[in-house]
Amino acid sequence: MIISRRFVSRAGIAALGVLALAACNNDATSPLNVTPDQLQSMGETIATEVESGALGLTAQGVTSTTGGAPSFSRIPTGTAPMFGLAMNRVPVSIARSTTDATCGVASQDPPVDTDGDQVPDNFSISFVLPACHFTDASSNSIDMTGVLHISDPQPATPSMALTFGLDNFKLAFSGPTGSGSITRDGSSSVSASDGALSQSSNWTESAQITGYPSISAKLNWVASFVVAQGQSIVAGQALPDGAFSPSGSVDYREGNRTASFSIATITPLQYSASCAAGVENGTSLAPFTAGTIRVTANGQSVDVAYTNCDAATVTLAQ
């Protein structure tokens, strides 16, 4: 199987949490309060999770985005003062320029697909060394390891239903300014009915970054996709236009200190088939033309809004 060269451009929830929350407050005994600026930064990261979730509604989307596995390529650079010098520890340039998911080794080529619905019966991609070791001219390096698996819960019946997960997917980085790693495990499933899809996701992510305490985060959510009027969902084909509505939570932990972020849909996200195709070929930043979700923590909220296939705009809710 050919894996898309579009390695999903997202920062890990835990990685961003390390930089957004811990960087401002290194006292392990103090309360883990979330400031408006930090909430806004977390809203930006949750936006990338939402985008990955929508693109993970099909088997083709799962393989082209490596199942939502983390990268460093959307960690903000200079846009949020709370990051401070912590950004110097993460070699983001190498992740942006050279980390290539095509280093993965497929369990079958082509995948077995008994019912011909483009959801493989039982398929995996293993990321192993040395093929998934990357370096740059500044002596930074990244090792990508772990397994992405995807399967068809109804292998004899054509449908859009699927399950996929990541097993110990890990990005380990090192360089002159520091080292660390992000690991993600978990799974997601999609069930199908006439004109609609339902998604359930449970992910656990942990981060170890030089100079910061161990961090973990759990993301649990459900989402629905309802096809636009006059269109239909066809097994094995790209999704048509529709409305995507996620809700759930992110529970962040730093030692014994915790913060919880809730996710709710304010207006359904308008998924565009052309925008999604643009994300795949690099001409769009998001698969949505409109819609807003709200991220809330400690009684304060930010709205994550989309327009015209562009990156999400995150603003404090009024």
pLDDT mean by block of 10 residues, the chain; 318 residues? 34 49 51 78 86 88 70 40 34 46 84 92 93 81 90 92 92 82 91 91 86 82 95 88 96 81 97 91 90 94 95 90
Structure confidence at residue 231 (pLDDT): 92
Could you tell me which of 313, 273, 205, 271 has the C-alpha nearest to residue 53? Answer: 271
Count of residues in the chain? 318
CA distance 58 to 104: 19
Structure confidence at residue 103 (pLDDT): 83
Could you tell me which of 54, 79, 63 has the C-alpha nearest to residue 4? Answer: 63
Q: Measured in Å, how far apart are the chain's first and last C-alpha atoms? A: 48
SS3 22: helix
**Residue 23: Cβ within 10 Å count:** 21
CB-side exposure of 188: number of CA atoms within 13 Å? Answer: 31
Could you tell me which of 239, 229, 254, 256 has the C-alpha nearest to residue 197? Answer: 239
Residues 36, 32, 304, 184, CA torsion sign? positive
